[in-house]
Chains A and B, each alone.
Chain A
């Protein structure tokens, strides 16, 4: 388990708080906002997929549900644009989480590839519902959310940026806490050998479902904030099939199942995507580049940046200590154990 390093984190936190003040241009803060939003979503997805090893590709459904919950709340309660809608974000997250309970319960009866396919199918069911439950969602006509009219163009991104940062921090704190809890250990055990974990008393069904619902909650909040930012909702965009590929790619790039890997992935990929979208949006080149990156990661960095890096560092460190002739018993079997067998394969 990695040690807690508060200084680096505090510096990062201060930097992320100061960022929009240092770079107030709306073009930059928009990219920063989306980066934080995706970092939060990837962190949340990682709590489930990274820790349990179940690759869910239908979390975009909970983005959509969070978005529509937000829009419907604002409409029904006649909310004006301003700070008030932000308060509703956790509520939208709860709606997404509630919907995810039966969905997770069903999907988690299956494993591996079947699970992936089931989650994708569930996603499309929800997208279809958004098109067809016109009384609730207005169908393909879409919905609008209140616009904060008294915020100037220069100021507009600031509240969104900080709310996104807040969601990310809470999700990250939650993820850290899970990683260091008995519960998290159970999830990681499920990832390595589910049957064996079950045989050792881990309540695998409960554990997986809870993680699924937790991640749906945060992803729902991300959807709600996103909806409020773009101010309008259409089924095809609120329920975006690319979303899962993007956050999965972020997690794989940074390091699936690590604490900060998803954030690193988001920091690398989201600004890149925004840049490509701005430059080549008309011809969809960025999708080709994305596909190429996915291939490159799977081929050359299958474990992601952070695990590869930490393994490389560990290797360097251990070869260093062997040279020093110190601490070498840390990798040797102690007496009276028979150490005739090699330590590593």
Chain B
């Protein structure tokens, strides 16, 4: 059994069948890419896997536990973090405050604690340093550039120490220097044992980073293999170049 998997997931929005019996699997500690043309259902699959959408049929399992009916906070608590294609930060909170939103406490401390303990604060600063935006910590997050917001979103997910991170187009709209900077960070985290599932249009980025790539089209998986295999798969070429 895989670490994170979706089995025969179906999801329709009105007449549009966004996911049509889609199955994918992600191995523990791997870096898996998920590619496919626009509208192939990648983001919907992410939403289904993180509790933002319910499934019509099929199931999603994380480490053997079915998670398809969980809410986003429950999925997050299990250790699955995600970023969004259109970056979502809390624009009126400062960068540092953003970092602390994801550290939720349980029990009485949830209601009566200060917004950060010194240990959490240290960790937040460490992570901002890690992604390179520590100098912006006191600015409202809304004032950051698009790329910086992406880094912030990445950092505030890390603070909860997720086991799996789902990245939705991390390199979209980001300059090349930032892209290579981001891939280095991802590699570093992967070495520490974090599993990644990455949706991306930037082929170079995916192919250089991932050891396995899955291809989606029309809501279902049409290819699966090493970057080289996928590159030479006729069905994939068809989907991308049109037949």
CB-CB < 8 A to B136: which residues of A? 331, 333, 343
| Cβ-based interface call for A111 (8 A) | no
**A337 CA to B136 CA, complexed, in Å:** 12
Residues of chain A with a CB closer than 8 A to B90's CB = 188-189, 192-193, 196-197
Query: Residue among B90, B116, B132, B146 with the most chain A CB within 10 A?
Result: B90
Contact B73 A192 (CB under 8 A): no
Is A325 on the interface with B (CB-CB < 8 A)?
Answer: no
- Asked if A337 meets B145 with Cβ closer than 8 Å, knowing A192-B91, A201-B104, the reply is no
A198 touches B175 (CB 8 A): no
C-alpha gap A199/B104 in the complex (Å): 11
Q: Contacting B145 at CB < 8 Å: which of A182, A330, A343? A: A343
Q: Return A233 CB to nearest CB of chain B, in Å.
A: 35
A-B contact count (CB 8 A): 138
Contact (Cβ within 8 A) B97 A1: yes
Q: Would you call A185 and B97 a contact (CB within 8 A)?
A: yes
Known: A181-B113, A183-B110, A334-B135. A188 touches B93 (CB 8 A): yes
Given contacts A182-B110, A201-B76, is CB(A344)–CB(B143) below 8 Å?
yes
Chain A 164-201 near chain B by CB (<8 Å), digits 1 or 0: 00000000000000001111111011011101111111
Chain A residues contacting B132 (CB-CB under 8 Å) are 333-338
State A186–B144 Cα separation when bound (angstroms). Answer: 21
Contact partner of A199 among B82, B91, B138, B143, CB < 8 A? B82
Tell me if B175 and A340 are in contact (CB < 8 A): yes
Whether the pair B145, A195 counts as a contact (CB closer than 8 A) is: no
Report the minimum CB–CB distance from A195 to chain B (whole Å).
Answer: 7
Per-residue contact bits, chain A 234-270, to B (CB 8 Å; 1 contact, 0 not): 0000000000000000000000000000000000000
Given contacts A181-B113, A333-B136, contact A192 B93 (CB under 8 A): yes
Distance, CA A335 to CA B133, complexed state (A): 9
Is A329 at the interface (CB under 8 A from chain B)?
yes
Q: How far is the CA of A106 from the CA of B177 in the complex (A)?
A: 49
Contact A333 B104, CB 8 Å, known A182-B115, A199-B73, A344-B143: no
Smallest beta-carbon distance A317→chain B, Å: 12
The minimal Cβ–Cβ distance linking B204 to chain A, given in whole angstroms, is: 17
